């Protein structure tokens, strides 16, 4: 259904998010009314918009004349009654249900009956907000990401009673603001925050199981996959108590779904008052409020294979990438019929793929932990596409032949990657997190609550993931992903690692997740 952007848009809440949304509305050509019940906050919000627009001029993205025109469209609204002309009201008030219910109840009697009432909530139910609002059909979710003028995504969320016309107006407005608009279901976390949950929760489980340290896990996510920030850096930036409250909300809204069980590690940080950057201490300590970023050593230069023979056995995409990387670094790459190779890499997901040559070996830890698969070997894991990675995780058991680990780390350095030694587990760290991101996407898509295209766009544009889970599943191959999840479910016995039905069905017929 087509719709046009309302001539007048109102925004309630002049904090960072509300002011950013108001700036976008004015840039889209609408008369923009900005309201905040605190006069000083309203003044700060208007001033903040001016600074934001000045930055656009400094960067050459807007002319001074354009900014003057945009600024002229923004008006401070002292009272809710001043918002009466608005055809769309976007609420960006604090994330408390009682505040939003009170606002929408009042607005329903102020604006026109056909005006759309949009909530920028990131975690509350749009249906619940609408149920107490006269004119339920005109209430929609309109979820922006922070900072609103910069982030390229907006989620349009349909409550149970939201009309197609109201949703169409929200979509048209988002597009006029220059956003990529995705449709999201009114479920816990909508689309982006739902699929993104494993990034923090699974990382916390890895820390609790002592697979790696905080610094290691952050480095693995950044260098192994290209995330802009590691999960613990990100939690410190957002606020540990905020992240934990979201986890508790997910757990309540999904009636105790094991995938969303909050972490006791976060609860202890909160009890100690260590909330992140705002308190000077969280997962990291902060000196004088300065951002913390662990130093990353540069990856070694690729090369130095010197013709040493490496047997690579397996048919998954990562095996082919490792063959190319090893050959490019000067190693002589052979298959399972090799005689006495310097090192054998076992990337089989099924032992029927071929026998291994004798000698030192390293096992890809997808279908189990090293202890379960081959305790005398070294273990490793990497996530495809390998070209985007500067790091490969390695591990060993008490029984690992020292020569196998030494040669594995030599091969990793030879192909230009940093070898990060972690504790043993299926998928090690990065593989486990990525598999859970893919699995969560498959749950959402399989339930009809998102499309594959919207999931990938949402994760890239909403939370800056290096790629979406659908693209990741294609790069890794579903057999690899399901092998990790099945191994975790089998070895740990936890329901949070059960494979999404859609993932299992697509694997059975040889289809991809997209």
My answer on whether 27 and 46 are in the same domain is yes
Question: What is the structure's pLDDT at 353?
Answer: 81
**141, 186 contact by CB (below 8 A):** yes
Backbone φ and ψ for 449, nearest 5 degrees, come out as -100, 5
Per-residue pLDDT, averaged over 20-35, amounts to 97
Q: Please report, for the domain that includes residue 406, its CATH number.
A: 3.40.50.720
- The tens digit of pLDDT for each residue in 196-224 reads 999 999 999 999 999 999 999 999 999 99
Q: Is the pLDDT of residue 291 over 90?
A: no
- The tens digit of pLDDT for each residue in 313-348 reads 999 999 999 999 999 999 999 988 888 999 999 999
Contacts of residue 232, defined as CB under 8 A and 6 or more positions apart, other chains included, come to 203, 207, 214, 217, 218, 282, 283, 284
Chain centroid to CA 103: how far?
31
Residues of the domain holding 399: 309-421
Q: Is the pLDDT of residue 471 over 80?
A: yes
Q: Are strands 343-346 and 361-364 parallel, antiparallel or unpaired?
A: parallel
Question: What is the structure's pLDDT at 125?
Answer: 94
My answer on whether 176 and 51 are in the same domain is yes
Q: Please report, for the domain that includes residue 213, its CATH number.
A: 1.10.1040.50
Q: Is the pLDDT of residue 25 over 80?
A: yes
Q: Which residues are tagged catalytic?
A: 122, 143, 155, 193
Q: Which helix (H) or strand (E) holds 77?
A: strand 74-77
Domain count, the chain: 3
- The tens digit of pLDDT for each residue in 407-420 reads 999 999 999 999 99
Is 14 a member of any domain?
yes
Which alpha helices (H) appear in 447-512, and where do they start and end?
452-462, 469-476, 478-492, 501-508
Q: How many CB atoms lie within 10 A of CB 105?
A: 12
**336, 355 contact by CB (below 8 A):** yes
Contacts of residue 320, defined as CB under 8 A and 6 or more positions apart, other chains included, come to none
My answer on whether 88 and 132 are in the same domain is yes
Question: What is the structure's pLDDT at 288?
Answer: 76
Per-residue pLDDT, averaged over 458-462, amounts to 97
Question: What is the structure's pLDDT at 289?
Answer: 63
Closest among 416, 438, 455 to 497, alpha carbons compared: 438
SS3 381: strand
Q: How far apart are CA 313 and CA 296, in angstroms?
A: 31
- Tokens standing for residue 422: 């972690």
Question: What is the structure's pLDDT at 132?
Answer: 87
Is 303 a member of any domain?
no
This prediction has a pTM of 0.94
Is 487 a member of any domain?
no
My answer on whether 355 and 207 are in the same domain is no
Provide DSSP, 223-238.
HHH--SS-HHHHHHHH
Chain centroid to CA 191: how far?
10
Question: What is the structure's pLDDT at 296?
Answer: 79
My answer on whether 138 and 224 are in the same domain is no
% of the chain beyond a pLDDT of 90? 92
Q: How far apart are CA 139 and CA 116, in angstroms?
A: 6
Most confident of 285-289, 299-303, 377-381: 377-381
Q: How far apart are CA 103 and CA 370, in angstroms?
A: 56
My answer on whether 66 and 169 are in the same domain is yes
Is 1 a member of any domain?
no
138-147, 309-318, 351-360, 405-414 — which is least confidently predicted?
351-360
Q: Is the pLDDT of residue 465 over 70?
A: yes
My answer on whether 170 and 234 are in the same domain is no
Backbone φ and ψ for 346, nearest 5 degrees, come out as -100, 105
Is 55 a member of any domain?
yes
Q: How far apart are CA 119 and CA 157, in angstroms?
A: 9
Per-residue pLDDT, averaged over 254-270, amounts to 96
């Amino acid at each position: 259904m087509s719709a046009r952007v309302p001539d007048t848009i109102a925004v309630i809440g002049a904090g960072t998010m509300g002011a950013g949304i108001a700036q976008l509305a004015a840039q889209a050509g609408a008369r923009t009314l900005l309201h905040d019940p605190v006069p000083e906050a309203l003044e700060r919000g208007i001033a903040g918009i001016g600074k934001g627009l000045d930055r656009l001029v400094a960067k050459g993205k807007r002319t001074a004349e354009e900014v003057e025109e945009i600024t002229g469209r923004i008006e401070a609204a002292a009272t809710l009654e001043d918002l009466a002309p608005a055809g769309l009201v976007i609420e960006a008030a604090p994330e408390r249900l009682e505040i939003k219910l009170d606002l929408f109840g009042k607005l329903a009697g102020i604006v026109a009956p056909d005006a759309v009432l949009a909530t920028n909530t990131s975690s509350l139910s749009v249906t619940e907000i609408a149920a107490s609002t006269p004119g339920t059909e005109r209430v929609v979710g309109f979820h922006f990401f922070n900072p609103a003028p910069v982030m390229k995504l907006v989620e349009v969320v349909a409550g149970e009673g939201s009309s197609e016309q109201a949703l169409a107006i929200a979509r048209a407005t988002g597009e006029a603001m220059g956003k990529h608009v995705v449709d999201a279901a009114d479920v816990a976390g909508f689309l982006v925050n739902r699929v993104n949950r494993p990034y923090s929760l699974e990382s916390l489980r890895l820390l609790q199981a002592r697979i790696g340290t905080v610094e290691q896990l952050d480095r693995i996510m950044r260098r192994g996959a290209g995330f802009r920030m590691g999960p613990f850096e990100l939690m410190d930036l957002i606020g540990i108590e905020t992240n934990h409250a979201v986890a508790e909300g997910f757990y309540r809204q999904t009636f105790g779904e094991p995938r969303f069980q909050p972490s006791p590690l976060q609860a202890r940080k909160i009890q100690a008052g260590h909330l992140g950057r705002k308190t000077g201490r969280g997962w990291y300590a902060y000196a004088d409020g300065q951002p913390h970023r662990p130093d990353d050593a540069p990856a070694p230069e690729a090369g130095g294979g010197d013709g040493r023979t490496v047997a690579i056995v397996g048919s998954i995409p990562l095996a082919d990438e490792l063959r190319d990387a090893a050959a490019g670094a000067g190693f002589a790459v052979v298959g399972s019929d090799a005689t006495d190779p310097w090192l054998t890499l076992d990337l089989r997901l099924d032992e029927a793929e071929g026998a291994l040559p004798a000698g030192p070996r390293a096992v890809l830890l997808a279908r189990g932990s090293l202890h379960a698969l081959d305790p005398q070997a070294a273990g490793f894991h990497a996530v495809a596409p390998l070209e985007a990675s500067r790091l490969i995780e390695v591990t060993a058991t008490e029984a690992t032949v020292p020569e196998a680990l030494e040669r594995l780390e030599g091969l990793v350095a030879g192909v230009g990657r940093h070898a990060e030694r972690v504790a043993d587990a299926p998928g090690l760290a990065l593989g486990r997190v990525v598999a859970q991101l893919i699995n969560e996407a498959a749950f959402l898509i399989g339930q009809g609550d998102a499309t594959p295209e919207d999931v990938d766009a949402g994760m890239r544009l909403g939370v800056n993931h290096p790629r979406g889970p659908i693209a990741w599943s294609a790069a890794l191959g579903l057999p690899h992903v399901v092998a990790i999840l099945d191994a975790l479910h089998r070895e740990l016995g936890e329901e949070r690692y059960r494979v999404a039905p859609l993932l299992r069905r697509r694997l059975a017929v040889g289809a991809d997740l997209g």
